[in-house]
Amino acid sequence: MEASTYIKRGASGRIAIKMGSRPERIMKWTVTTLVILTVIAFLLFDYTGLDLTTAIPETLDNLKTMFLEPALSHFTWGQAFYQLGVTLGLAFLSTIFGGIIAFFLALLAAANLSKPWISKTVRIMVAFIRAVPTVLWVLIFAIAAGLGSEAAILGMLFHSIAYLVKAFSEAFEEVDQGIIEALRATGANWWHIVIHAVLPSTFTYLLSWTFLRFEINFSVAVAMGAAAGAGGIGFELFMASGFYFDLREVGMITYMVLIFAIILEVFSTKMKDRYFPAAK
C-alpha cells in the first residue's frame, strides 16, 4: 500500500509535504516504542541460575513427553468427555444468556434507534465492562458467589454481553435509514420498526457474531474451569499440570481441547455457510 502524501501551506506561504497519515505515524512510533521496551526488559531480566545448555534440552524433552507420548492416567475417557461437556455447557449458557440480554441492550445502544443520551450511557457502561478482563470478572463473582460454575458463567456472561452489545449495535446502525423513516411515516411504532426492519436486515449478522462469541467462550471456559473451580476439562488440565505434574496427561488434554475446538469451528462454519450465507 502506498503511503499517503499530505500537502500543507504554512504561514510563510511555503508548502510542506508530509508522507503518511497521522494514524500511520502514531502506529509506527507505538510499534517502535514497544520493541524498544521489549529489548530493555530482556536486558533487565535476572538470569541468575539459568543455564541455557541444560534448560533448552530439558524443555525440548518435556515438550516431547507432552505431545509425542500423550496418555490419560488419573481419569477415564468417559470422564474426559464428560468434563468436555461441562466446559461446553459453561460456554453455551454464557453465550445464550449473553446474546439475549445483549440484543435488548444493543437496541438501546444503537444511535438510530435510541435517544442520544440513552445510547451514550449504554455504550459507556459496556465499554467499562469490556475493559475489565474476563478472568477478573470471574474472580470477582467467585468472591461474591463462591467458587463454582455460577461464578464462571456470571463472569463470562458479563464480558459476553459487553462484547455482543458493541457488535449488535453496530449491525443495527448499518440498517438503511430510509426503511426506518418509511415505517415511521406509516405510523409504525418502535417495536414494529425493530421487528419488521431492523431484525430481518441484521439477523444473519447477529447469529454470526453469536457463533463467534460461543467459540471464544469455549476457550475462556477451559481456563475458567480452574480459576473459578467450575470443573470441566480446564480443571483437569490444572490438576494434571500443577498437582500431579503429569506431562503426558497435559498433552492428551491439550490435544482433546484442540481437536474439539477445531470440530466446533468447522461445525460453526458449515452452519453459517448453509443457513446464513449472507453473514459471510
User: pLDDT tens digits, residue range 199-230?
Assistant: 888 888 888 889 889 988 988 888 887 766 66
- Does residue 29 fall inside a structural domain? yes
Are 105 and 176 found together in one domain? Answer: yes
Torsion of CA 257, 266, 134, 244, to 10 degrees: 0
Mean pLDDT of the chain: 82
Q: Which pLDDT belongs to residue 3?
A: 47
Domain that holds residue 244: 74-279
Position 2 confidence tier, pLDDT thresholds 50, 70, 90? very low
For 187: left if phi > 0, alpha if psi spans -120 to 50, otherwise beta; the answer is left
Position 1 confidence tier, pLDDT thresholds 50, 70, 90? very low
Are 162 and 199 found together in one domain? Answer: yes
Are 238 and 161 found together in one domain? Answer: yes
Name the percent of the chain lying above pLDDT 70: 89
CATH number at residue 108: 1.10.3720.10
Are 38 and 86 found together in one domain? Answer: no
Are 103 and 149 found together in one domain? Answer: yes
Instruction: Return the higher-pLDDT residue of 69 and 229.
Output: 69
- CA–CA–CA angle 175, 177, 178 (5° rounding): 120
**In DSSP terms, which residues pair with 16 in a beta bridge?**
8
Are 46 and 85 found together in one domain? Answer: no
User: pLDDT tens digits, residue range 48-67?
Assistant: 777 777 888 888 898 888 88
d(CA 197, CA 199): 6
User: pLDDT tens digits, residue range 134-154?
Assistant: 888 888 888 877 777 788 888
Are 47 and 162 found together in one domain? Answer: no
The half-sphere exposure of 140 on its side-chain side, counting CA atoms within 13 A, is 13
Taking 60 as the threshold, does the pLDDT of residue 18 lie above it? no
How many domains does the structure of the chain reveal? Answer: 2
Are 47 and 152 found together in one domain? Answer: no
pTM of this structure: 0.75
